[in-house]
Amino acid sequence: MKILVAVKRVIDYNVKVRVKADRSDVDLANVKMALNPFCEIAVEEAVRLKEQGVASEIVVVSIGQKSCEEQLRTALALGADRAIRVDVENAPDALSIARLLAKVAEQEQPGLILLGKQSIDSDNNQTGQMLAALLNRPQATFASEVKLDGDSLVVTREVDGGLQTLKLNLPAVVTTDLRLNEPRYASLPNIMKAKKKPLEVKSSADLGVEVTAKVKLMSVEPPAERSAGIKVGSVAELVDKLRNEAKVIA
Amino acid sequence: MSILVLAEHDNQQLKPVTLNVLAAAKQLSGDVTLLVAGHNCAAVTEQAAKVEGVSQVWIADAPAYEHHLAENVSALLVDLAEPFTHLLAASTTTGKNILPRTAALLGVNPLTDILAVESDKCFKRAIYAGNAIATVEIDEAKVLMTVRGTAFDPVAAEGGSATIKTLDSVFQNADISFSHEALAESDRPELTAASIVVSGGRGLGNGENFNLLYQVADKLGAAVGASRAAVDAGYVPNDMQVGQTGKMVAPELYIAVGISGAIQHLAGMKDSKVIVAINKDEEAPIFQVADYGLVADLFEAVPELQNSL
Ligand SMILES: Cc1cc2nc3c(=O)[nH]c(=O)nc-3n(C[C@H](O)[C@H](O)[C@H](O)COP(=O)(O)OP(=O)(O)OC[C@H]3O[C@@H](n4cnc5c(N)ncnc54)[C@H](O)[C@@H]3O)c2cc1C
Ligand SMILES: Nc1ncnc2c1ncn2[C@@H]1O[C@H](COP(=O)(O)O)[C@@H](O)[C@H]1O
């Protein structure tokens, strides 16, 4: 079975982003970029399925400018076999991303498609669901366990009330949650080997998808700043403040 | 213009977050229809019909909808979407699973987790773990979005008198089936709806020590949350995680115990009215957002707190 993994280049999770002075967007100049943590987990899961003999080939795909080839190389170093970058100029909207991924999936015919549940920049949490819809395939979002059972996939999902387990016919779309696995580090020899693995570039025109931008960013503002309050010296003082100053406990 | 809201429920109770989503719907122009898709959910329909500001309640009661599978509910929503300009759901794991799928089937872009309604086409949402608030304008014939419950004050649960319509069409996708679930049982209030939340982090050391927090919570009528580190370490289950990738909470009082205050955690709780931090490291970033900070060993401070409540 072939696995397709969609990966995204995002700001490193340790970086606290700032809003530009003119409030047009956030400032990404000279900011450290990385593979979206949820995508890293998706790649790791694919690699484990290959190690178990369930998967035969892992293809990673990213939609973006040339810079995202860095993250595709990271995914190759973690164990993916080949990479596809879909070149786009301006930031496409979510539906265009899903349509481009759907075209790649139609060409590649994977048995399983893995995505992160959420990109940590846009915090959207929607691409996997949209891709599954466009392909008319079942989806299991927020996965914390993925098991193959004959021709079907058994996935445990992290839902608000606890855990839910679903059975899906393949091909299927799965989005990863944080506890699905702990991604490995790429070893130096694997980083070297990754440089020689195939990386193909396609354009949206090659895929026959018209890229749109129907969600316009009008402005960006910093969140309401919380000022640090006071330090209390004891539990008694804390309880007194909560009762008589903040009046939040009886 | 008219608005369709997907009710959040467990086939018995209408979840309170639905009232927050209806508050967002009220800020749009148009009549509001509330859709209850579930199985053996007559009690929910009854509650739904009483909610303030709802003109119609539509009910789709079939085994296919029992577990709110995205494949089935999105097919139903697509079938019903025609007259509506806006389709709203709660920004819960259920809403976030269903709504983007529906949007793609309808050929439109969805919006996730909106915080404010500026106009029928313009909304605010948090990006970058809440470090920026974006104002976005959407150019689609239908606007599909999930709504962050804590950002809207709920409409009244009583006082309305909606007409009820039963829907007959059933959509069942053959490629997916529910297997089983393990839902947390708790007498404590639900995390996202509680007015007081007590959360623990890695500082608690193990799952057993969370009992210290449960005791405080029970005295305060509070819900108990956790940092990702505490969930990852297996101290508590995943449904307790507060943060960018867990639950968003905004209670009257949030007490963070043994939590350092990473940006991903702050993203989920910094809209709380009053924040208390108990941490033995006075440099911990959590103190930068806390109204009241107590530098102390939690194993001394928390039992003392419990005794003084
Ligand atoms: C993609 C991604 C998403 C994430 N999403 C989330 C999320 O949604 N929610 C979330 O919480 N995290 C999230 N994280 C993790 C986050 O970055 C932090 O690692 C995590 O929040 C740390 O948890 P903590 O504060 O409990 O642990 P630590 O950072 O280890 O802090 C423990 C604190 O306990 C204090 N302490 C220890 N012993 C005592 C004692 N006896 N008395 C008093 N204080 C004590 C210490 O001083 C320390 O400040 C995410 C990370 C990534 C990469
Ligand atoms: N530009 C992109 N290229 C490839 N995959 C993407 C892209 N954007 C989003 N994804 C995938 O969709 C997941 C969820 O992203 P989002 O819906 O934007 O929060 C990510 O973790 C990726 O797996």
Tens digit of each residue's pLDDT (9 = 90 or more) over B204-255: 999 999 999 999 999 999 999 999 999 999 999 999 999 999 999 999 999 9
User: Residue B305 and residue A239: Cα distance in Å, rounded?
Assistant: 7
pLDDT digit string (tens) for B23-51?
Answer: 999 999 899 999 999 999 999 999 999 99
Q: Is B305 left (phi over 0), alpha (psi -120 to 50) or beta?
A: alpha
User: Residue A115 and residue A125: Cα distance in Å, rounded?
Assistant: 10
Neighbours of B121 (CB within 10 A): 16
Q: Nearest Cα to A13, choosing from A28, A30, A41, A35?
A: A35
> What is the count of residue pairs from A and B with beta carbons less than 8 Å apart?
259
Atom 6, ligand 1: residue with shortest CA distance = B264
**Among B68, B92, B97, B283, the residue to mutate for chain A (most A Cβ within 10 A):** B97
Look at residue A228 in the predicted model and tell me its pLDDT.
Answer: 80
pLDDT digit string (tens) for A26-79?
Answer: 999 999 999 999 999 999 999 999 999 999 999 999 999 999 999 999 999 999
pLDDT digit string (tens) for B115-127?
Answer: 999 999 999 999 9
Atom of ligand 1 nearest to the CA of B226: 11
| Mean pLDDT, chain B, whole residue set | 96
B295 has a pLDDT exceeding 90: yes
Give the whole-number percent of chain B exceeding pLDDT 90: 97
User: Residue B57 and residue B75: Cα distance in Å, rounded?
Assistant: 18
User: Residue A149 and residue B216: Cα distance in Å, rounded?
Assistant: 44
* Chain A CB within 8 Å of residue B74 CB: yes
Look at residue B71 in the predicted model and tell me its pLDDT.
Answer: 98
Chain B positions touching A120 (Cβ under 8 A) are: 128-129, 244-245
Among the partner-chain residues B133, B238, B276, the one whose CB lies closest to the CB of A221 is B133
A144 has a pLDDT exceeding 90: yes
Model confidence at A90, in pLDDT bands (50, 70, 90)?
confident
User: Residue A177 and residue A31: Cα distance in Å, rounded?
Assistant: 25
Distance from CA of B52 to the nearest CA of A (A): 26
Model confidence at B5, in pLDDT bands (50, 70, 90)?
very high
Chain B positions touching A249 (Cβ under 8 A) are: 196, 220, 253, 309
A225 has a pLDDT exceeding 90: no
Chain A positions touching B288 (Cβ under 8 A) are: 226, 228
Describe the strand order of the beta sheet including B122-127 as a list of residue ranges. A215-221, B132-138, B122-127, B110-117, B143-147, B86-90, B2-6, B31-38, B56-61, B163-166
Model confidence at A87, in pLDDT bands (50, 70, 90)?
very high
* Among the bound ligands, the one closest to the CA of A125: 2
* Among the bound ligands, the one closest to the CA of B199: 1
Q: Domains in chain A, please, with CATH?
A: 2-218 (3.40.50.620)
Ligand 2 site residues, Cβ closer than 6 angstroms: A 6-8, 36, 38-39, 62-64, 97, 115-116, 118-119, 122, 124-128
Question: Do the chains contact at B196 and A17, CB–CB below 8 Å?
Answer: no
How large is the average pLDDT for residues B261-276? 96
Look at residue A151 in the predicted model and tell me its pLDDT.
Answer: 86
Residue B251 CA to ligand 1 centre (angstroms): 20
How large is the average pLDDT for residues A97-117? 98
* Chain A CB within 8 Å of residue B237 CB: yes
pLDDT digit string (tens) for A167-189?
Answer: 999 999 999 999 999 999 999 99
SS3 content of chain B, % helix, strand, coil (to 5): 30, 30, 40
Find out whether the beta carbon of B200 lies less than 6 Å from any atom of ligand 1: no
Token pair belonging to B163? 């007409």
B164 has a pLDDT exceeding 80: yes
How large is the average pLDDT for residues A104-133? 97
Model confidence at B187, in pLDDT bands (50, 70, 90)?
confident
Atom 36, ligand 1: residue with shortest CA distance = B203
B62 has a pLDDT exceeding 80: yes
Neighbours of A161 (CB within 10 A): 18
Give the whole-number percent of chain A exceeding pLDDT 90: 95
How large is the average pLDDT for residues B117-139? 97
Look at residue B198 in the predicted model and tell me its pLDDT.
Answer: 98
Residue type, A167: K
Atom of ligand 2 nearest to the CA of A63: 3
Model confidence at B4, in pLDDT bands (50, 70, 90)?
very high
Look at residue B1 in the predicted model and tell me its pLDDT.
Answer: 77
Look at residue A226 in the predicted model and tell me its pLDDT.
Answer: 84
Q: Which residues lie closer than 8 Å to B100 by C-beta, 6 or more apart? A: A94, A125, A126, A127, A129, A130, A133, B110, B112, B144
**Nearest chain A residue to B277, by CA:** A231
* Among the bound ligands, the one closest to the CA of B278: 1
- The b-or-e profile of B171-193 (16+ CB within 10 A means b, else e) is bebebbbeeeeeeeeeebbbbbb
User: Residue A26 and residue A17: Cα distance in Å, rounded?
Assistant: 7
- Residue B87 vs residue A16, higher pLDDT: B87
**Test site for ligand 1: of B191, B235, B259, B270, most ligand atoms within 8 A of the Cβ:** B259
How large is the average pLDDT for residues B280-302? 97
